[in-house]
Structure 1
Amino acid sequence: MTTSKNRNRGLIVGVAVAVAGAYLVGHERARADEDSSAKTTLSSPAAGNNQAPNFSAIVAKYGPAVVHVEARSDEQTSDGGHSGALGTGFIVSQDGYILTNNHVVEGAARVTIKLSDGRKFPAQVIGTDKEGDVAVLKIAGSGFPTVKIGNPADSHVGDWVVAIGSPYGLDNTVTSGIISAKSRTMSEDNPMPFIQTDVPVNPGNSGGPLFNLNGEVIGINSMIYSRTGGFQGLSFAIPIDEAMHIKDQIVGSGHASHARLGVAVQALDSSTASQLGLNSTHGALVAQVEDGSPAQAAGVQQGDVIVALNGQEIATPAELRARVSHLESGANTKLTVLRDGAKRTLTLAASGDAAGNAAPQTRAQSETPRPRLGVAVRQLSDDEAAQIGVDGGVLVARASGPAAAAGVSPGDVILAVNGVEVSNVEQLQQTIADARGKVSIVVYRDGQQLTLKAQLANTREG
């Protein structure tokens, strides 16, 4: 995967690679010489000033529960081998349930698990969730070593974290770093609140555990930002509570369902908050309510500010999306909104989807599809915007579907859609939500502005 280079101003931009992930292979064995930098150096003892803590106790106790995942397809390569991917997973129960990323095992005909003691087991894929990028595997047996599950809410930016995985097929590689940010939303379609770290992860690390200093798993390493395909300082993990919620659904019913309200929301800035008579920017501003959605049926209106869900305060749109993703489809949900300076509590039943399909009740209520561009984007930093001489814009991390067909590429900066300047992720989401048919997209690439035409796809997912 490549990115554009700003030859005139030297802007360095990254590409989301779903990763860290599966190390694609076309032979029976991974080549260990693919990356001579994939080495592990554990820190010196005892945390002191400017020193990392000693992670050896964590590795000794929980390392045996981290497994190597080998996924093979039936497709043959030119040299007679079988194509596939290598990744990482970890055992969450003594009877052999394993978590990894969906993109590690997607399309695999056979999955093999190798433990740190060298034992190998054929694995059954119990179920996968593409939207959450989580897969649940099972190996036969009992008494397997397991990890300890933690609570990502108890972690803080700046905390030390540790990853164990198989970068480039190098099993049981240990790397460390800190939590750089929390609740990073990477896609217009996926509300996953990623944990951002600077832990070195590379292809083959995908699906591996991210530990805190208590030895508890708080995330699944899933993506990196990179211009080269290798680690460049930005890695992203799925919070373990999100992954375990998906796992419980898959084990219970064979699939995961993602609840939805049927609203498009955006962050409140100080100017908008002031116009609405609010003294805080906490909450999620409703920019659009889908026809026939649970939100519309409950009376949610454009311009409402959602401030609480089931009595729990909502500070940001990302927090709202994360909370909604944990709702059970059809369960009564209380939504607290601010409207005309007063609080109102509305009751609705969030709809859901199974295996990526819209729920039957949603289809019956509304056949109006939602337009989709097919990009994962992030906000430009002030320094990046200054380097290319723009006031706003969003950086394309991944392009698929209509965007890719129109020529949008990772590394492009989207400046405007249909003549409307795009200054942040929420504004792009809203502009696309309001659009129909073809859209005109102005992007910045290699020192030039280009205008691309895209035919929006329609989807009922949400």
Structure 2
Amino acid sequence: MTLDSRFRRRLPLATGLVLVLVALAAAFGHGRAATVPLWSDQPVAVTPATVTAPNWEGLAQALKPAVVNVSMKRTAQAPPEAADPFFQQFFGRAPQPRTQRGLGSGFVVNADGYVVTNNHVVDGATEIRVKLADGRELAGRVVGRDPRTDLALLKVEAHGLPTIPLGDSSALKVGEPVMAIGNPFGLEQTVTTGIVSATGRVIGEGPYDDFIQTDASINPGNSGGPLINARGQVIGINTAIVSRSGGSVGIGFAIPVNLAKPVVTQLASAGHVTRGWLGVGIQPLTADLAKSFRLTRTDGALVTSVSEGSPAAKAGLKEGDVIVEYDGRPVARAGDLPRTVAETPVGRAVPLEVVRDGKPVTLTATVGRLEETREAKAEPAPGEPALGVSARTLTPAVAQQLGLREQQGVLIVNVNDGSRAEAAGLKAGDVIAEVDHRAVSNVEDLQQALRRHATGAPVLLLVHREDAHVWIAVGA
């Protein structure tokens, strides 16, 4: 379960299994509307909190009965090569399948036995057991799973169960007190408290990153458990931690409940989640990029690529467009767009407000369906602006030798330490395709484009990097 990066690691919070932490995400309301709500949103009635502290004691007693322990078994198969006779000559007979066990948390959202937990808690399970607070242990059935949001909905055959109401995570304020209840390290019904440390956290787990950060103690086994506000409402689903040791260091992450609600609704009604799809690659705007695109602000999503035949292509979107408004809603951050598109019903025509060459353009796109093989994503923002590179003309032969998909352009061989290019985020292996919106196919083109460039303004580059297109503004 260790994903080390400079001695830090993000860990899925289920214990007992090596489980991959999936991309967390946005929630999307395409499910059939239920005649009776799946959950309640009414605050829990307890003695009013004082000015300095919520009534955690009262809330814990009221809500613990709705928090459950989720355990699972799955069969770990031997790798395919283990059955190869050649393999067996050296390593003996293939090992037999092994049973692995995992443990996490969950909470009851509906008295008829619907339980919310994390997908990674039950992923691959051949058997699921749900232990209630009253000691009963029941078989759990997966109603639906959504790996993109790391959410799962389970069902147990029971009625009249205590539930926890769901709140409004958009109303959260940094510094607001919160409480976590779960099963850390198998210690049942553990209650910890803290505050909301931050909202809208992006931790690199997928295109829908939008986490609540908390310092409430969260540990392996808390996965799927509720993060609760002072009104007794779930405002997040505990999912991941950053830790050097594997235990809590006061940095935990929860999926906002507003992202979870539509997902849970769709899982309950259809067993899966349907998402909208536009078909663009995007990245955030830096100040220099905004200046290069003749914008006065860094709001919006900069289009880096448009998929052929996609709704975006049919609508007329182009590389270099800046999407500033989607369906009447401003795009404040590039990362907001994939979540907003995903929430849109498939087939709906939505207006797009775009800035192209410094001028406003209005387009209309008919939202498609996001398939499993494609993903809308926001590329990382390039580094701070800054040119000092060694480069060569990229030919088809060189591209084939290096395994590059692009067949022409200018290949960056080396980036000088301390140069403007390094400061801007250019890397060896990048392929420059455009300079100031003009295509370059060789080193001579690049040199001419740089000579034409206006002194004192950032140089705007369109770069091919791995399988993505990235706009980079190199400071003057």
Q: TM-score, normalised by structure 2?
A: 0.67
| Shift of residue 293, structure 1, vs aligned partner | 1.8
The structure-2 alpha-carbon separation of the partners of 1:329 and 1:433, relative to structure 1 and needing over 3 Å to count, comes to farther
Report whether the alignment pairs 1:15 with 2:32.
no
The structure-2 alpha-carbon separation of the partners of 1:248 and 1:16, relative to structure 1 and needing over 3 Å to count, comes to same
Larger radius of gyration: 2
| Shift of residue 424, structure 1, vs aligned partner | 9.2
Q: TM-score, normalised by structure 1?
A: 0.69
Q: What is residue 332 of structure 1 aligned with on the other side? A: 349
**CA offset digits 1:318-357 (Å, max 9, x no partner):** 2222212212233222222122333322221222335x34
Aligned equivalents of 1:418, 1:55: Cα separation in 2 = 59
Q: Structure 2 unaligned runs (5+)? A: 19-47, 79-94, 385-411, 416-420, 434-464, 469-476
SS at match of 1:324: helix
Which of residues 203, 206, 211 in structure 1 aligns to 2:228? 211
**CA offset digits 1:153-173 (Å, max 9, x no partner):** 110222221111000011111
Aligned equivalents of 1:296, 1:116: Cα separation in 2 = 53
The structure-2 alpha-carbon separation of the partners of 1:325 and 1:182, relative to structure 1 and needing over 3 Å to count, comes to farther
Superposition map of 1:150-189 within 5 A: 150-187=167-204, 189=206
**CA offset digits 1:371-404 (Å, max 9, x no partner):** x9xxx9999999xxxxxxxxxxxxxxxxxxxxxx
Aligned equivalents of 1:321, 1:128: Cα separation in 2 = 20
The structure-2 alpha-carbon separation of the partners of 1:261 and 1:81, relative to structure 1 and needing over 3 Å to count, comes to closer
Residues 289 and 295, structure 1, Cα contact 8 Å, conserved in 2: yes
Residues 2 and 227, structure 1, Cα contact 8 Å, conserved in 2: no
Report whether the alignment pairs 1:111 with 2:117.
no
Out of 258-267 and 131-140, give the one that drifted further: 258-267
Aligned equivalents of 2:322, 2:345: Cα separation in 1 = 23
Report whether the alignment pairs 1:66 with 2:60.
no
The AA in structure 2 aligned to 1:23 is T
The structure-2 alpha-carbon separation of the partners of 1:381 and 1:207, relative to structure 1 and needing over 3 Å to count, comes to farther
Report whether the alignment pairs 1:85 with 2:112.
no
| Shift of residue 112, structure 1, vs aligned partner | 0.8
SS at match of 1:56: helix
Report whether the alignment pairs 1:24 with 2:41.
no
Which of residues 261, 274, 284 in structure 1 aligns to 2:291? 274
SS at match of 1:147: coil
The AA in structure 2 aligned to 1:63 is K
Superposition map of 1:17-416 within 5 A: 17=11, 19=12, 21-24=13-16, 52-74=53-75, 82-187=99-204, 189-353=206-370, 356-358=372-374
Aligned equivalents of 1:433, 1:225: Cα separation in 2 = 36
The structure-2 alpha-carbon separation of the partners of 1:81 and 1:191, relative to structure 1 and needing over 3 Å to count, comes to closer
Residues 286 and 381, structure 2, Cα contact 8 Å, conserved in 1: no
SS at match of 1:112: strand
The AA in structure 2 aligned to 1:83 is Q
| Shift of residue 275, structure 1, vs aligned partner | 2.8
The structure-2 alpha-carbon separation of the partners of 1:158 and 1:423, relative to structure 1 and needing over 3 Å to count, comes to farther
The structure-2 alpha-carbon separation of the partners of 1:418 and 1:173, relative to structure 1 and needing over 3 Å to count, comes to farther
The AA in structure 2 aligned to 1:66 is V
The AA in structure 2 aligned to 1:160 is P
Aligned equivalents of 1:288, 1:116: Cα separation in 2 = 51
| Shift of residue 358, structure 1, vs aligned partner | 4.9
Out of 335-344 and 191-200, give the one that drifted further: 335-344
**CA offset digits 1:22-61 (Å, max 9, x no partner):** 11169xxxxxxxxxxxxxxxxxx9656xx65441222122
The AA in structure 2 aligned to 1:202 is N
**CA offset digits 1:406-441 (Å, max 9, x no partner):** xxxxxxxxxxx975778799x99x97999xxxxxxx
Q: Structure 1 unaligned runs (5+)? A: 6-11, 27-44, 360-369, 383-416, 435-454
| Shift of residue 74, structure 1, vs aligned partner | 4.1
Residues 283 and 302, structure 2, Cα contact 8 Å, conserved in 1: yes
Residues 76 and 83, structure 1, Cα contact 8 Å, conserved in 2: no
The structure-2 alpha-carbon separation of the partners of 1:138 and 1:424, relative to structure 1 and needing over 3 Å to count, comes to farther
| Shift of residue 119, structure 1, vs aligned partner | 1.4
Aligned equivalents of 2:431, 2:211: Cα separation in 1 = 23
SS at match of 2:110: coil
Residues 383 and 424, structure 2, Cα contact 8 Å, conserved in 1: no
The structure-2 alpha-carbon separation of the partners of 1:13 and 1:124, relative to structure 1 and needing over 3 Å to count, comes to same
Out of 342-351 and 101-110, give the one that drifted further: 342-351
Task: Say what the alpha-carbon RMSD is for the aligned residues.
Answer: 3.8
Aligned residue pairs, count? 360
Residues 87 and 206, structure 1, Cα contact 8 Å, conserved in 2: yes
| Shift of residue 234, structure 1, vs aligned partner | 1.6
The alignment-based identity, stated in percent, is 39
Aligned equivalents of 2:383, 2:248: Cα separation in 1 = 20
Residues 327 and 352, structure 2, Cα contact 8 Å, conserved in 1: yes
Residues 175 and 196, structure 2, Cα contact 8 Å, conserved in 1: yes
SS at match of 1:323: helix
SS at match of 2:58: helix
